[in-house]
């Protein structure tokens, strides 16, 4: 069996070659078994949630069967955002959390995300043990019987507990703000409008009628045209857009201009710096964040720490340094004081709280970051490592970096999953960024032809 877990759990076409009910059951059995081996002093408790996509019903049944067959008790929380499931794992002192979601992916996909006790993502060693247990088929022998089989209960007020937590975490009331929220017909559809209203905002919700088939369909954080149109039509102060499991948040201004994760992080970092809550005046972001964010943070006296691409690497750096804020350009933003994973609704609340507290518009606040044009070229190669490391390619990168100086940058990285080398260039103009990127891409193609 190949690598099962990616950077954010197991993901694929639901009921396709990988993500079958049989696999979901096996992962659940393995997770429960590993937890029992790690701590055999009590019967494990698992929280299971999902987003509203239709295949979640099927996979939930398989996961619950797997967990209980391995002796774990299960609390089903139904359709809730990923960060809500993580929060409830901590609040109930559960040993494990399982979220069934493919986040921003199209409806036919689904995924299995696992959380450890406390609501944090599983450490690498536990994930590796679970993956090995699935490969070995350990769930087929030694199953409990009789009273040792796990039991299943439903938590009917999980959303209310989570919303109460969100309101308590909001630093300033939102009275006077009018917001359009695009719920992506996903897990935020019930929670986000209620949370924003209870915090004091006037809320217009769109794409908040999930039917199991329309999640992320031309809506949400990957399709911003509809929320932009609604903001302009309604005369709203801003718009917010979530993805299918609501762990992301992007925004648009009253004029319909997009505010991405880099700009949101800058706004929150400055607010936290001024409030004295930004640990060591440090923000954690990935190497894909725009150079404009780096420049803005340097000018504001805030240190920017870079990680590899992927929210798990941001989380690791946040934990290692006990830092207070981190995230990605995609709008996946983590505030460890309030959440153990990215939380799109929490992000929206804090962003609006800063608008309300400062009296400034979102456009004014976002202007702290002057985004440089960014061009990304994915080059198909025969050998991605050789293509990226070739002396001719490295020489081209060095020449480009010298040419751009402090007005741009080059990021060259092999894909982790495909035969691609990703060439990303930022420069003062898009034409300059594109010409430099194409020049480097040509060297990559020559070094390792597809």
Beta strand residue intervals within 128-257, DSSP E = 152-154, 178-182, 202-206, 238-241, 250-253
Residue 322 annotated as binding site:
no
Residue pLDDT, tens place only, 213-253: 999 999 999 999 999 999 999 999 999 999 999 999 999 99
Question: What pLDDT, on a 0 to 100 scale, did the predictor assign at position 1?
Answer: 47
Give the confidence band of 39 by pLDDT, cuts at 50, 70, 90. low
Question: What pLDDT, on a 0 to 100 scale, did the predictor assign at position 102?
Answer: 94
Q: Which CATH architecture has domain 374-447?
A: 2-Layer Sandwich (3.30)
The span from the CA of 428 to the CA of 92, in Å, is 51
Residue 247 annotated as binding site:
yes
Instruction: Classify domain 169-366 at the CATH topology level.
Output: Alpha-D-Glucose-1,6-Bisphosphate; Chain A, domain 3 (3.40.120)
Q: Please give the biggest Cα pair distance in the chain.
A: 72
Three-point CA angle 350, 354, 359, nearest 5°: 150
Residue pLDDT, tens place only, 336-382: 999 999 999 999 999 999 999 999 999 999 999 999 999 999 999 99
Q: Delimit the domains of the chain by residue range.
A: 10-157, 169-366, 374-447
Which helix (H) or strand (E) segment holds residue 431: the answer is helix 430-447
Residue 245 annotated as binding site:
yes
Given a cut of 60, whether residue 139 has pLDDT beyond it is no
Order of strands across the sheet with 326-327? 303-307, 282-286, 326-327, 333-334
- In DSSP terms, 78 is beta-bridged to 49
C-alpha distances (whole Å) from 260 to each of 15, 86, 264, 371 are 34, 24, 6, 10
Given a cut of 90, whether residue 105 has pLDDT beyond it is yes
The span from the CA of 365 to the CA of 412, in Å, is 31
Q: Which CATH architecture has domain 10-157?
A: 3-Layer(aba) Sandwich (3.40)
Long-range contacts of 40-44 (CB under 8 A, 24+ apart): 43/71, 43/72, 43/73, 43/150, 44/71, 44/72, 44/73, 44/95, 44/96, 44/150
Give the confidence band of 124 by pLDDT, cuts at 50, 70, 90. confident
Question: Per-residue DSSP letters for 256-314?
Answer: --EE-HHHHHHHHHHHHHHHT-SGGGEEEEETTS-HHHHHHHHHTT-EEEEE-SSHHHH
Is the pTM here over 0.85, yes or no? yes
Mean pLDDT of 104-117: 94
Q: How many C-beta atoms surround the C-beta of residue 97 within 10 A? A: 33
Residue 190 annotated as binding site:
no
Which SS3 state, helix, strand or coil, does residue 143 take? coil
Question: What pLDDT, on a 0 to 100 scale, did the predictor assign at position 40?
Answer: 61
The terminus-to-terminus CA distance of the chain in angstroms comes to 26
Task: Let me know: does 175 contact 200? Beta carbons within 8 Å.
Answer: yes
Give me the residue label for tokens 């917010």. Answer: 240
The span from the CA of 176 to the CA of 448, in Å, is 57
Asked, colleague to colleague, whether 10-157 and 374-447 share their fold, the answer is no
Q: Is there a catalytic annotation at residue 103?
A: yes
Which of 240, 249, 244, 250 is CA-nearest to residue 80? 244
Average pLDDT of every residue of the chain: 94
Given a cut of 60, whether residue 424 has pLDDT beyond it is yes
Which of 7, 88, 11 is CA-nearest to residue 53? 11
Catalytic hit among 26, 55, 69, 103: 103
């Amino acid at each position: 069996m190949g690598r099962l877990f990616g950077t954010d759990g197991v993901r694929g076409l639901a009921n396709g070659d990988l993500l079958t009910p049989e696999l979901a059951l096996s992962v659940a059995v393995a997770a429960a078994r590993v937890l029992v081996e790690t701590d055999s002093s009590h019967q494990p408790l698992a929280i299971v949630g999902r987003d509203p996509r239709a295949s979640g019903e099927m996979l939930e049944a398989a996961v619950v069967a797997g967990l209980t067959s391995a002796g774990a008790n299960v609390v089903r929380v139904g359709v809730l955002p990923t960060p809500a499931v993580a929060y409830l794992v901590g609040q109930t002192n559960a040993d494990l959390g399982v979220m069934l979601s493919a986040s921003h992916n199209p409806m036919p996909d689904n995924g299995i995300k696992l959380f450890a006790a406390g609501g944090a993502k599983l450490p690498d060693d536990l994930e590796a043990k679970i993956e090995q247990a699935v490969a070995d088929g350990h769930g087929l022998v030694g199953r409990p019987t009789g009273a040792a089989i796990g039991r299943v209960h439903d938590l009917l007020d999980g959303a209310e507990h989570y919303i109460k937590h969100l309101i308590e975490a909001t630093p300033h009331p939102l009275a006077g703000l009018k917001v359009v929220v695009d719920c992506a017909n996903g897990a935020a559809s019930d929670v986000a409008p209620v949370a924003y209203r209870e915090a004091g905002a006037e809320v217009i919700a769109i794409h908040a009628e999930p039917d199991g088939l329309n999640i992320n369909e031309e809506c949400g954080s990957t399709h911003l045209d509809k929320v932009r149109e609604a903001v302009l039509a309604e005369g709203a102060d801003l718009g917010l857009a979530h993805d299918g499991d609501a762990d992301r948040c992007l925004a648009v201004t009253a004029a319909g201009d997009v505010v991405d994760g880099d700009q949101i992080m800058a706004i929150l970092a400055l607010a936290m710096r001024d409030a004295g809550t930004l640990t060591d005046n440090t923000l954690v972001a990935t190497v894909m964040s725009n150079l404009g964010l780096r420049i803005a943070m340097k000018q504001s006296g805030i240190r920017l720490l870079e990680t590899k691409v992927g929210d798990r690497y941001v989380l690791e750096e946040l934990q290692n340094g006990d830092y207070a804020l981190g995230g990605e350009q995609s709008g996946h933003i983590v505030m460890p004081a309030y959440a153990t994973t990215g939380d799109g609704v929490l992000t929206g609340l804090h962003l609006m709280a800063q608008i309300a507290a400062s009296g400034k518009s979102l456009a004014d606040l976002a202007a702290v970051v002057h985004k440089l044009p960014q061009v990304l070229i994915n080059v198909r190669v025969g050998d991605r490592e050789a293509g990226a490391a070739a002396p001719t390619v490295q020489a081209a990168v060095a020449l480009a970096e010298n040419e751009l100086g402090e007005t741009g940058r080059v990021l060259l990285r092999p894909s982790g999953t495909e035969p691609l080398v990703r060439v990303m260039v930022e420069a003062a103009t898009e034409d300059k960024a594109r010409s430099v990127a194409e020049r480097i891409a040509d060297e990559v193609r020559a070094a390792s032809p597809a």
